[in-house]
Amino acid sequence: MIRRLAVLLGVLSLLYVPLPAAAGGFASTEFDPIPEIRPGVAHTIGYWVLALGTEPIRDEAFGDTTLRFSRNGERYDFTGVRLAEPSHYATSIILPAGEWKVEGLLGYYGHDDIGTLTVPGGLELSPPEYDPMRVADMPDPWGAIKPPGHPWGTPFRPVPGVTPIPKAAAPPETRPAWPYALGGLTVAAGGLVLLLRPKRPAG
């Protein structure tokens, strides 16, 4: 029984081939240009929530978005309201002086680390967690008012007066399959040796 189980495990190991790592499934927050933020003064902030870092979120079930400002256990949340453009939001904020960690709370997309806001002062952006990605040949979903980072790499379908800026997309990351196949062959060979080894005569 043990020998048969060893052979079976070896065969199953050969059937396992890892798939390429899937990219996507993330969203990022991009601010409209903001003025110098002063302590105790209300400011209106416009921002965009972008799937894959470049696409508007078209899911009608996508809920509220919130800008969170926190430091040393102190926290302020400001919920955004939808603007006319796809994936465009705005909220009013008011903060005391100091340095604040800024995050976007993006529903089922999770939290986006935006950067550090100094009050009085401006916003220092964190390095992006992901590189923006584009799905080719989609029509431009925006009119004259677009996210500040537009266009990104592979452009949306060209519109009159806009010159495309092509950029080659990086190939998806893959993992080599040979270590798994080698491990499976080793287990299978060991199982066959055990299975075919002559039995000792009963003493």
pLDDT tens digit string along 84-127?
999 999 999 999 999 999 999 998 889 999 999 999 999 999 99
The amino acid that residue 111 corresponds to is H
Angle at 107 between CA 101 and CA 113, to 5 degrees: 25
For residue 139, what are its two tokens?
A: 């029509």
pLDDT on residue 152:
78
CA dist 106 and 11 (Å) reads: 44
Q: What is the pLDDT of residues 83-92, one digit of tens each?
A: 999 999 999 9
CA dist 56 and 39 (Å) reads: 32
Find where tokens 């969203």 sit: 27
Find where tokens 């080719």 sit: 136
CA atoms within 13 A of residue 102's CA, in its CB half-sphere: 24
pLDDT above 70 covers what percent of the chain? 65
Confidence of residue 188 (pLDDT cuts 50, 70, 90): low
Domain boundaries, the chain: 23-172
pLDDT on residue 25:
52
- Domain 23-172: give its CATH architecture: Sandwich (2.60)
CA dist 140 and 163 (Å) reads: 13
CA dist 66 and 55 (Å) reads: 19
